[in-house]
Structure 1
């Protein structure tokens, strides 16, 4: 650059002449130099320079100190000039303030800006855009203005970190449009480690994993992002990331390289205006459909799940119709296209199987991992794996309940048993109820128990707990995790314990293993 001189701000403040690193002085002098370089060829008032260098705590008489720093920087610039060449940069005093007269191309920060702006040119193709952005990102050597303190340095640092993150996302989008997801998968994880709360970076990484055929890793990545955002910000992923997650779940082709907003598929909630279709087939050939609502029984007595007209109305949601419409728009054209070859029955089965086996298999793997951790006496890892499995299970049955709930019911039942949850009805019936989230509260209540991480000291009967919960006055039967009231669930467990074991325990925590 210029043949001889190079100024660097994207990392430690450096000045090189013909490849030779020069001494840029004390941190305070480096701030003065950086303040001039950031606004190269633009005048900066004395007051602005003083504020950038000292902030709210300047010396009693800052101007002489500032003049001394400027004088030493002038000497440094003269030193950088090659013999016989004119000084590559000079500080001039003008009416509006001080100006560092320098070719911006000599400063890495301005080269970064120029390369990113070049990628904005719509006349360039994606190959040229990706190359310009890659060159810009390679200019980074570390924390901008590394080692310099003060509010101004912190603001510059934050601003350029944001620009870097944005440039990385745009580079990844261009690479994805070019059909090169592996490049994104290789480069972006390092950036997400630096910017752990940058959802656009996570979006393009999950998108690239999905495009590379690594759907299980994409689901894992989303789960890790969801936990991180909850822990750090107390919030969940944005709607764009949620929409991409559902794309991976249902096996749609990856979206284009642009992370565009998409409608949010809202988790079902009770509606008084819908009635449910007939229940799906039981998970076991010997299971029977849930019987009609039984008459009142003593608290703690297990009964079959409720399936009355009123409960069916509670089971459906105003948003399920929109969700199913989205699924139908994706799946029905493919089914119709193959109908003339496969026949109508095969086509119907293809349409019903809307979720790819990889998503369901991944949920099974997580449940199996939790079981292995339990056998190795690693309770923390087991609870984390169960939590991930339950969240994935919840999302899967929200998308395709008739298929995904029955297939995951056995794994759920084993997870409940390890938590100390037992049952007093035939196993086939319980599997049938766990596989029927539209008509019964069993899946929702089971999700709540497992996500809480409870481990009971004495057996807690799931069917009795569900009965107690459902017979709480003025409380609708839950069909999703969001519908479950934890305080009511605790009371239902306590009541079951008193009825089944004759205990007088009144504090829920006394039922749990330490």
Structure 2
């Protein structure tokens, strides 16, 4: 026979399921099975089954349920032998005498304990923990109400989270991050606020060489925690983010690594969380060269207070960027000592700026100094200005590498610059976006991106990430490393993108639909150059 509690309550015997009765009777059965072979006092049983919502005379009702459970257990008797489970009344209370190996919940506990044994090798630990996790069929005690059932569910959800993290760490040490990338995303949808799961997923993406996706995932998690809890990521997530950002080696999976404990409560799908309402203004068309039409957002250059009050929407389900190499310029990548020293110094300053501007304020409770909702901030505050300067130097380093013909290293350094740019926009768009607009425009120019409007107008739009889609679309172009064989007008591409049916004007990288952006570029090149190109990759330099 088999008792199953990790999902809907089921009892199986001889390969067939038995009738477990009403939901109230299932609670009685679960209360006995969870503490198999241990006595439970009558008062404790009553409290587990009814809590504070007691019937007029609970004891006779409980006796009736216990009688039916005895009948259920008699159905599990094998011919010529006794029943596999017996319900007994002892001095200390009622006892369900059943082998714990016949209960999925207890098998899960045993397998997890074996998987946590440091005497076992990683292969055995990973296999044992995978076997334990395979016992889950859904929410424990699914469909049962009451405070006791809810407490049991919360406890076993936490055990499941711990087991997943330890399994993932064993897989890391075995050099199998792909297994983690395949399994963990579904769980992060069930536990959207569980930081340990996000840590192992980001670590796996980084270990698999998918650094840009790891950084994008961190941004999604950070926004979700801020929106739902008003909190910043924990120390482990922030440390991991710094490792990925610096292009350093992935940290080894440590079973004893510190992590924030999350009480998951009931399962929640990400789909159940309503997306933020997007209230972007539609663009006013104006004439541009060549008879094209360009969407110029109305109100560009409005008061800073109005822009600061506008919401910055999170991800709306758009696919994340595929693999983009992290900028990691080492000594072998450059030929001259001067350029090598400059790039190294620039990267060190940029990473220090991220630490000062993002990590330290969060850890010390001073994050309000950098946030845009603080009206009395002193303009002489150092961290934002230092971070902006480091972002400028990264863009300048990429330009210098380009001039030396080191295209691959230049692209990698641009990725670092764009990531820092995105962090600065998230902290304070009004203060940090405008001074970086010229550097962004130069980087776009090296990628073959041109414009058909005045330079001041384009710089203004690149400096307004709240009201315009220009920063988000520019980030995607630079992160992708696209370099066009023929000049592409950024303003015309944005106009085509925004006028695609049923497409929302993007305000962050996660909002940009890559296929729509590629189609917008193709349409523009056909209109401007008269080409008959049908494949986007044909527009790119090899």
Range into which the TM-score falls when normalised by the shorter chain: 0.5 to 0.7
Question: Which residue of 1 is the match for residue 62 of structure 2?
Answer: 66
- TM-score for the superposition, normalised by structure 2: 0.54
In structure 1, C-alpha distance between the alignment counterparts of 2:155 and 2:215, rounded to whole Å: 31
In structure 2, C-alpha distance between the alignment counterparts of 1:197 and 1:7, rounded to whole Å: 31
Q: Residue by residue, what CA displacement relative to the aligned partner does 1:275-308 show, whole Å, maximum 9, x if unpaired?
A: xxxxxxxxxxxxxxxxxxxxxxxxxxxxxxxxxx
Question: Which residue of 2 is the match for residue 154 of structure 1?
Answer: 150
Query: Which secondary structure state, in structure 1, belongs to the residue aligned with residue 75 of structure 2?
Result: helix
Question: Which residue of 1 is the match for residue 174 of structure 2?
Answer: 178
Aligned residues: 324
In structure 2, C-alpha distance between the alignment counterparts of 1:50 and 1:260, rounded to whole Å: 40
Question: Which residue of 2 is the match for residue 269 of structure 1?
Answer: none
Q: Residue by residue, what CA displacement relative to the aligned partner does 1:344-380 show, whole Å, maximum 9, x if unpaired?
A: 335414523638x9xxxxxxxxxxxxxxxxxxxxxxx
Distance 1:89 1:350, change over 3 A: same
- Return the offset for 1:447: 13
Structure-to-structure mapping, 1:457-496, within 5 angstroms: none
Query: Which secondary structure state, in structure 1, belongs to the residue aligned with residue 215 of structure 2?
Result: helix
Query: Which secondary structure state, in structure 2, belongs to the residue aligned with residue 31 of structure 1?
Result: helix
In structure 1, C-alpha distance between the alignment counterparts of 2:129 and 2:68, rounded to whole Å: 36
Q: Residue by residue, what CA displacement relative to the aligned partner does 1:248-279 show, whole Å, maximum 9, x if unpaired?
A: 111111111128459xxxxxxxxxxxxxxxxx
Distance 1:128 1:181, change over 3 A: same
Question: Which residue of 1 is the match for residue 29 of structure 2?
Answer: 33
In structure 1, C-alpha distance between the alignment counterparts of 2:3 and 2:62, rounded to whole Å: 21
8 Å Cα contact 1:137/1:168 also seen in 2: yes
1:348 aligned onto 2:338: no
Q: Residue by residue, what CA displacement relative to the aligned partner does 1:38-66 show, whole Å, maximum 9, x if unpaired?
A: 00011100000000001101111111111
In structure 2, C-alpha distance between the alignment counterparts of 1:400 and 1:244, rounded to whole Å: 21
Counterpart pick for 2:13 among 17, 20, 35: 17
In structure 1, C-alpha distance between the alignment counterparts of 2:10 and 2:386, rounded to whole Å: 53
Structure-to-structure mapping, 1:428-467, within 5 angstroms: 450=464, 453-454=466-467
* Unpaired stretches in structure 2, ≥5 consecutive residues: 260-327, 351-383, 399-413, 443-459, 469-542
In structure 1, C-alpha distance between the alignment counterparts of 2:112 and 2:91, rounded to whole Å: 33
What is the aligned-residue RMSD (CA, Å)? 3.9
8 Å Cα contact 2:347/2:394 also seen in 1: no
Query: Which secondary structure state, in structure 2, belongs to the residue aligned with residue 236 of structure 1?
Result: coil
Distance 1:235 1:34, change over 3 A: same
- TM-score for the superposition, normalised by structure 1: 0.57
Counterpart pick for 2:393 among 400, 403, 409: 403
- Return the offset for 1:182: 0.3
Question: Which residue of 2 is the match for residue 96 of structure 1?
Answer: 92
Question: Which residue of 1 is the match for residue 201 of structure 2?
Answer: 205
- Return the offset for 1:403: 3.2
Query: Which secondary structure state, in structure 1, belongs to the residue aligned with residue 86 of structure 2?
Result: strand
Question: Which residue of 2 is the match for residue 86 of structure 1?
Answer: 82
Q: Residue by residue, what CA displacement relative to the aligned partner does 1:376-411 show, whole Å, maximum 9, x if unpaired?
A: xxxxxxxxxxxxxxxxxx899479546325467999
Stretch moving more, 396-405 or 342-351? 396-405
* Unpaired stretches in structure 1, ≥5 consecutive residues: 263-330, 358-393, 433-445, 456-514
8 Å Cα contact 2:395/2:440 also seen in 1: no
In structure 1, C-alpha distance between the alignment counterparts of 2:389 and 2:108, rounded to whole Å: 44
In structure 1, C-alpha distance between the alignment counterparts of 2:13 and 2:79, rounded to whole Å: 12
In structure 2, C-alpha distance between the alignment counterparts of 1:205 and 1:190, rounded to whole Å: 11
Query: Which secondary structure state, in structure 2, belongs to the residue aligned with residue 7 of structure 1?
Result: strand
Question: Which residue of 2 is the match for residue 309 of structure 1?
Answer: none
In structure 2, C-alpha distance between the alignment counterparts of 1:173 and 1:117, rounded to whole Å: 15
8 Å Cα contact 2:434/2:462 also seen in 1: no
1:214 aligned onto 2:207: no
Query: Which secondary structure state, in structure 2, belongs to the residue aligned with residue 80 of structure 1?
Result: coil
Distance 1:430 1:400, change over 3 A: closer
8 Å Cα contact 1:192/1:201 also seen in 2: yes
In structure 2, C-alpha distance between the alignment counterparts of 1:447 and 1:237, rounded to whole Å: 31
In structure 1, C-alpha distance between the alignment counterparts of 2:8 and 2:213, rounded to whole Å: 36
Q: Residue by residue, what CA displacement relative to the aligned partner does 1:100-127 show, whole Å, maximum 9, x if unpaired?
A: 1110000000000000000121110111
Distance 1:454 1:150, change over 3 A: same
In structure 2, C-alpha distance between the alignment counterparts of 1:210 and 1:396, rounded to whole Å: 27
In structure 2, C-alpha distance between the alignment counterparts of 1:43 and 1:212, rounded to whole Å: 50
